[in-house]
Structure 1
Amino acid sequence: MSIETEADGEATELARVEELAGELGEAIAQTPEYQKFEETKQAVEDDDEAQEKVEEFEQLRQEFMLARQTGEATQEDVKKVQQAQQELHSLPVMDEYLQAQEDLEARLEALNDAISEPLAVDFSDQSSGCCED
């Protein structure tokens, strides 16, 4: 004989919600947008020129952030970082990656809207852990 308590029912429901969340994650991983994102991400990681440009951009960005913190950043420093970013983004492999990232973000936003609708809250805003007034 089994007696289901209210706590048992809540635990079962929570487990089911977590199971559904896992299934949603698996389904998202099968979308064309996610697949394209992963493919283009790997292409960027495998491209020597792209990796060189990423490293150059990151180094310049770090140097700029440090200079900004010490009050020594100049407009020329900003231009160097912007130029490095433009060079990086002008690579076809990077352009494809950024487009795939944008497409995935649009898909995830649509999914967020679908999740949020029955909750009467913006799910992604609530997941940040910050209170709203």
Structure 2
Amino acid sequence: MSVQTDRLETLGRELGDAIAKTPEYDAFERAKAAVEADDEVQSQIAEFHAVRDRYVQARKTGGATQELVREVQSAQEDLHSMPKMADYLDAQKELQERLESINEAISEPLAVDFGGEAGGCCQE
């Protein structure tokens, strides 16, 4: 590997370490841990997944109804209204916004969307 490639990989690791030390990442990790440790939230997540899976299966077989759509929406609203889940979603949004800002800073001198298109081919 060339010295330049080694340096870029080192910079990439340093960037990852720096991101992990941001308040947004810390808040996300704390909110994620709170969601994972809460049995009530985990139960609601499981319920949402079960309802969503029934809907997906019904769609595949042509049996999806508006009632089933409402059940999915209701289960999602119930889940998102839980304080720990709401905190998690807010923290996730804040982290995503921070990562998008970092992506823009990296992408600007490259004239490509580093996070979205750098690995792609022939995108219009």
Please report the TM-score for the alignment, with normalisation by the length of structure 1. 0.89
Alignment check: 8 A CA contact 2:79 2:85 kept: yes
Q: CA deviation at 1:120?
A: 1.3
- Give ranges in structure 1 of 5+ residues lacking alignment: 1-7
Q: In 2 relative to 1, CA 130–75 (structure 1 residues): closer, same or farther, beyond 3 Å?
A: farther
Residue 89 of structure 1: aligned partner: 80
Q: CA deviation at 1:106?
A: 0.4
Q: 2:42 aligned to 45, 51, 66, which one?
A: 51
Count of aligned pairs between the two proteins? 124
Q: In 2 relative to 1, CA 43–130 (structure 1 residues): closer, same or farther, beyond 3 Å?
A: farther
Q: CA deviation at 1:15?
A: 1.3
Rounded to whole Å, the distance in 1 between the matches of 2:93 and 2:118 is: 21
Residue 70 of structure 1: aligned partner: 61
Q: CA deviation at 1:132?
A: 1.4
RMSD: 1.2
Rounded to whole Å, the distance in 2 between the matches of 1:95 and 1:17 is: 37
Residue 132 of structure 1: aligned partner: 123
Q: CA deviation at 1:128?
A: 5.3
Q: 1:21 aligned to 12, 17, 22, which one?
A: 12
- Give ranges in structure 2 of 5+ residues lacking alignment: none
Residue 112 of structure 2: aligned partner: 121
* The structure with more radius of gyration: 1
Q: CA deviation at 1:94?
A: 0.5
Misfit runs of 4+, over 2 Å: 127-131
The amino acid that maps onto 1:131 is C
Rounded to whole Å, the distance in 2 between the matches of 1:68 and 1:130 is: 33
SS in 2 for 1:71: coil
Check if 1:36 corresponds to 2:27: yes
Rounded to whole Å, the distance in 2 between the matches of 1:118 and 1:127 is: 13
Q: State, as a whole percentage, how many aligned pairs show the same letter.
A: 53
Q: In 2 relative to 1, CA 96–126 (structure 1 residues): closer, same or farther, beyond 3 Å?
A: same
Q: In 2 relative to 1, CA 36–122 (structure 1 residues): closer, same or farther, beyond 3 Å?
A: same
Check if 1:107 corresponds to 2:98: yes
